[in-house]
Amino acid sequence: MKIKLHNFKFLMVLGAFVGTMSMVQAQTSLSAVQKLQDQQKITNVKISKERGTPSLIKLSNSQTHRVEPQEASLFLREALGLRETTTLAEKRAHVTPSGSKVVKYQEYFKGVKVEHGIYNALSKDNALKAITLEHYELKDNFNVAASLSEDNALNYALNFVGATEYAWDYYNFLKLNETDPARLTQLDAAVNSVYPTGELVIVDNYNEPGISLRLAYKFNIYAAEPLYRADIYVDAVNGEILLADQDIKHAAELNNEIAERRKMSSYAMVQAMGETRYAGTRNFETTLLSADASDPVNPLPERYVLDGTITVNAFNPDSQTIESVTVLNETRSYDGIGGVPLNVGGTIPSYEITDGSSRLEEGQLNVEIADNFWSADEHYRDRFETPADNYPVDNEFDNDDVALDAHWGSEVVIRYWADRHNRWSFDGAGEKITSFVHYGDGYDNAFYSSSTMTYGDGSYQGGTNPNGSFAPLMSMDVAAHEIGHGVCDFTADLVYARQSGGMNEGFSDIWAAAVEAYVLEEIDSTLPYQPYGIGEQIDERDGGIQPGEDNPDMRALRFMDDPNAAGDPECFEGVNWIDTSEAGCPAPNLGNDQCGVHSNSGVLNKWFYLLVEGSGQVFTPGRDKRAADDEVNDNGDPYSVEGLGFQIAEQIAFKGEVLLTPNATFSDMRDASILVAQQDYGVDSNEEIQTTNAWFGICVGESYITPDPNQVFFSSANANSLQEKNNDTGCNTFRTYTVNVATVQVNPAVTVTLDTSASTAELGVDFDISTTTLDLEGTATESFEVTIYNDALVEEDELISILFDFMGETKTQVINVLDDDVVPAIGASVVEIMPIEEFASSAIPNDWEEIIVVDPSMNKWYYNGAGTESGRAYISYTSPVGSTNSAIYESNSPSHVILKTPELNALGLNDVRVTFDWEAGGELDPGNPAFDYGQLVYSFDGVNFEEGSERFALEEDGIMSGTFDEIIPELANTRFFLGFRWFNDTNATTSAFSFAIDNVHVEALPAAVETELNATTSNTVNTNNDVYFASNDSGSIIARIEGATQDLGCVEMTLTGSGTDLITNANAGVDRSSKVIEITADGFDASSATYDLTLFMTTDELANFNSMADLQIMKVEGSDIDATTSSNTVITGSMLEDLTAAEGYATFKGTFTGFSSFAIVQPVTASVKDVLISSVSLYPSPVAQGGLVNITAKDIVINSASVFDVRGAKVIEKKFAGNQQIQLSVATLQSGFYFVRLNNDANKTFKFIVK
């Protein structure tokens, strides 16, 4: 099913090269989005539909919330809540002529690069203004250790490419017959420069819908036959090819003239004049080389070569200033040889192009004069002017006048980028531009690779080739287009597929038009350029019609003003649009033009045309073109745009490109370009209006609506629902949200009063606002903060209503505060979250919902069908021959549907277990991921879904079935939705069994009782609150406080003791639990407040007590539970519930005043052993302080008696003369528990109490 990619970035796709909404894996939870909204520095956040993470963050312009540009990385860490496992590294910077600066950051996870994880920080006037980003969330347990070796991964990559010969094979071939050690060293270096080495990265799997991040090896594969170069991403676990993407890298280039080129810097750089093919006589930079007689067979005279040094003023990233810098520009010839465009002597050498000498291979008949005037007589050798001048004997590769076009064209492009954009060559860092001409024999294309441009001579051959289409492809717009790909690689680095690939091509067309317009304005206005025709000078499919002839039959590769004329779309998803969705184009490849990159570029082209010229303009003549723009888009919507001209439009376009991220969409470019217009020209400026309307003209977004004056409204970006819960633990935690109020031309200024009296939430208790008045004037955005307090109370969701009156109208913002607190389920019994759904009805179950992701969709969910589908939900379709009674799907209809459950509540619950029976068919695709499959997904907002299971699909053994039974950790303590996804592309050959489910059941485990030493938690408790205390780390339950008579303030609980042993407290006369809970409260009246306390104890913690019915709670003031006295100890309360048999715990409740340490106790009582063992009696017990203890022994003689305290210290020792009855005075003993031992015999030890 895979078609191998052969994807250089070509000017066009000809000859052999011709042939909705996607599912989102939501990476960012609602709480993460709300954390962004919490930031007072942020005014607007846009979430990517494709990734579920932020794609645009706009920052406040206020001085109070200003962020310095150098703080961008730190701000991103805080705003996105990045953990220590994720780092951001600065990649490059760009400064525009208007003074704005964009710094690009790269994401890394545990030191591994996250491919395409890019953050562009836009600043101006020393303040951070906005960030465009492609953010990927990874869980801490994401594995960055490869299972597959690098060598095995490379084999997968090479098998995928399937080339017969690779670039390094050429170098190895040359080494076979080479004996010169220096040359062998050069060739070894050349092999190393192109032989692929694997870089471990994290990248999205482009074979799957939504986001599925994988650890991968990234290889740059350079093939010779067929010609191919791309970055291949190989799954580092299973070898799956995740993505094949054009990736340009500068390879070391060696050729016969290496030593000579190293000497170039010592030669004179001089300005030349030459007669070009397409632009007449032009000036350009060359180099004068001295005569060289070192080779007596082929001595070289003094000569000029096409190797120039261009001086421009541009931004230097090293000095961070705009200064005079140079760019090298060289043009060389392949002399009609094809293959890998690498300069290595031997198999595919390249050659100098000279004035003043010629090689035998050039077939030069006229003597060249080394005067640096490159005349047509010298360099335009085969003109096809007589019947004898026929291809292939005469050939364009003999003509170097077109090399002058390429050389001059590159020089002009260098100057354009410096003059208009402060850019120092295409990479922004002064990279040399090398152009190779005469590539292949009649090659009908041109392409960019690494820092080089490569041009074919075209098959037209002066009209003598009957099947010819193109003249030599060295025209100005072709050069600007190809170098534009280099600009893209060093700015947005757009992935060469789907929408991003279409914009990659579109931007190159934009720069082709912009450079031609620059030439007409700055160099020569008489040249016959038509900027909106791409390749109009070299497209000879019209028989040689030139653009200056104004002939309606003139052809071009693409028409930017009227893309439909060349079969391209001018409207997003309109006429001629190539489907870029994952369902319609699941695998970008050469056969589908990477999902239509050359065709869909027409959308961006038309946008730029409208931005420059405006709507309703007359078109230049061309084949199949309309007379003029009709100002109605493919949606039937009328539009109107006033042109801004090239210089403003190209600034907006380029700055927008700089702000894009690798997988950007047309919608992202709309956001970026409008942002640029706002920053450079002002909010509501004419530039913003026309930029917005131009996008509307091509069916992307809405038109600009000019507001009436004296308009005031709450921003639509304000959050309508806010979480009470926050990421902090402890008391007095809160979230702060920014609420924006927009004003339009408010005059005169007015002050409004904010009214919250209609709220069900209580001001000062549940929330606060930062101000009660707002000053409104002009066109601006005013803001205030709403603080939501996390009160730990189990209550209904509450509403905050904020309103004010303006010019007789009431403006209202209503915010729903979502409570996260719940009465916890505790113990061991499984809690049923959703009863078993058996699909017993043919109707969709109550409160379930079907989401059609790809609309329209023939395949949908049906219920309780016939036969085996009875009592199941299943995928089927309706058509003249289809049936909804069986699980058979229509494979020719792309589908993406989700059957969604009602919202399920697992707050306070752990180990959420999902079970269901399933049966799955789909499409058999051995060795590759299934493209037709079912899958369990889940969502926290009902819109964005994450994968909850592997795919259920057909395997080699046939239709698969089973029972899914798994715990999904991410669902614990959340509200969530489950979904059952069916996805199919259109590549299966026949309809087949689809996907069916039954017996869907969801359950979870309740919270446990906390037993861990040092477990802690805290909550604020006010009068009459009912608050459960669960430990911060595990969520296990410690205690409950209710009915407080005063505000307790912040109540903190900590387990200062743990275990199952009983510990005797002699002073209190009790046996206590090893588990001790210290409770403190900082409220002003907390020490005098009375409250009810419930403690939770496990069965094990209670096992050694005699009778739970007799147990009570002991409170001891202070942190030492055993430092009991009659004044600091209270023993009260009783067992509330004995659930030890069913749930493994019991509860004890008592009423207390004040706080300290608490434990469960049982009183020590006299037992038979205490008072009568071996005829020994002891009384009274307890004995009054200062009294006597009487001991009588009937069967033994008492010779001595020793008394010990609870610490084991001997406090009394007394001798007796063999008596059977004695008395001991306890006058010296304090109240407490003691032991008496007779005759120093451990078996004759008895307890007594002094009270």
Locate the domains of the chain by residue range.
28-136, 144-245, 251-490, 529-657+666-703, 711-818, 831-1005, 1016-1163, 1168-1250
User: Which of 298, 304, 253, 252 shows the shortest CA–CA distance to 274?
Assistant: 304
Within 8 A by CB and 6+ apart from 1220, the residues are: 1192, 1193, 1194, 1196, 1197, 1198
Three-state secondary-structure class, residue 545: coil
- Taking the domain 28-136, which CATH number applies? 3.10.450
Cβ atoms of 22 and 209 closer than 8 Å: yes
Q: For residue 790, what are the CA distances in angstroms to 391, 502, 733, 786, 973? A: 83, 48, 6, 13, 16
pLDDT at 725 (0 to 100) = 65
Within 13 Å and on the Cβ side, how many CA atoms surround 714? 19
| CATH T-level topology, domain 1016-1163 | Chondroitinase Ac; Chain A, domain 3 (2.60.220)
Rounded CA-CA distance 115/609 in Å is 33
Rounded CA-CA distance 319/324 in Å is 12
- Taking the domain 711-818, which CATH number applies? 2.60.40.10
Rounded CA-CA distance 697/570 in Å is 9
Within 8 A by CB and 6+ apart from 1186, the residues are: 1226, 1227
Q: pLDDT tens across 524-573, in order? A: 999 999 999 999 999 989 888 888 888 999 999 999 999 999 999 999 99
CA 684 to chain centre: 31
Residue 1047's Cβ-count burial label (10 Å; 0-12, 13-18, 19+) is: middle
Residue with tokens 């030459």: 274
What is the phi/psi pair of residue 575, to 5°?
-60, 135
Rounded CA-CA distance 443/810 in Å is 70
Cβ atoms of 987 and 933 closer than 8 Å: no
Q: Do the domains at 251-490 and 831-1005 have one common CATH topology?
A: no
Rounded CA-CA distance 1050/1054 in Å is 13
Low-confidence ranges of the chain (pLDDT < 70): 1-40, 247-268, 339-349, 359-367, 717, 723-730, 792-795, 819-821, 878-883, 924-931, 956-957, 986-991, 1164-1175, 1206-1208, 1233, 1242, 1251
**CA angle at residue 206 from 220 to 503, to 5 degrees?**
80
Residue 630, token pair as written in the block? 């009709």
Rounded CA-CA distance 183/192 in Å is 14
CATH 3.10.170.10 holds for 251-490: yes
CATH 3.40.50.12780 holds for 144-245: no
Task: State the DSSP code for 1110.
Answer: G
Residue 621, token pair as written in the block? 């003549």
Task: State the DSSP code for 406.
Answer: H
- For residue 915, what is the enclosing H or E element? strand 910-920
User: Which of 645, 654, 100, 607 shows the shortest CA–CA distance to 417?
Assistant: 654
Q: What residues form DSSP beta bridges with 9?
A: 448
Q: For residue 285, what are the CA distances in angstroms to 265, 275, 438, 453, 523? A: 14, 14, 21, 18, 16
User: Which of 147, 152, 157, 140 shows the shortest CA–CA distance to 242?
Assistant: 157
Residue 765's region, left for phi above 0, alpha for psi from -120 to 50, else beta, is alpha
Which sequence positions are flagged as catalytic?
A: 482, 598
Residue 1014, token pair as written in the block? 């040092």
What are the DSSP calls for 1216-1236, one per residue? EEEESEEEEE-TTPPSEEEEE
Percent of residues in the chain assigned helix, strand, coil, to nearest 5? 20, 35, 45
pLDDT at 5 (0 to 100) = 31
| CATH T-level topology, domain 1168-1250 | Immunoglobulin-like (2.60.40)
What is the phi/psi pair of residue 324, to 5°?
-75, 125
The residue length of the chain stands at: 1251
Within 8 A by CB and 6+ apart from 962, the residues are: 917, 918
Rounded CA-CA distance 675/122 in Å is 10
pLDDT at 959 (0 to 100) = 87
Three-state secondary-structure class, residue 322: strand
**Upstream peptide bond of 69 is cis (omega within 30 degrees of 0):** no
Superfamily of domain 529-657+666-703: Neutral Protease Domain 2 (1.10.390.10)
pLDDT at 883 (0 to 100) = 60
| CATH T-level topology, domain 831-1005 | Jelly Rolls (2.60.120)
Within 8 A by CB and 6+ apart from 573, the residues are: 699
What is the phi/psi pair of residue 802, to 5°?
-120, 125
pLDDT at 264 (0 to 100) = 38
Strand extents, DSSP E, 168-261: 199-204, 213-225, 228-235, 241-245
Residue 1240, token pair as written in the block? 């120093």
Rounded CA-CA distance 1249/40 in Å is 65
Three-state secondary-structure class, residue 539: strand
User: Which of 1083, 1080, 1139 shows the shortest CA–CA distance to 1115?
Assistant: 1080
pLDDT at 535 (0 to 100) = 94
pLDDT at 36 (0 to 100) = 59
pLDDT at 225 (0 to 100) = 79
Residue 1177, token pair as written in the block? 């009696």
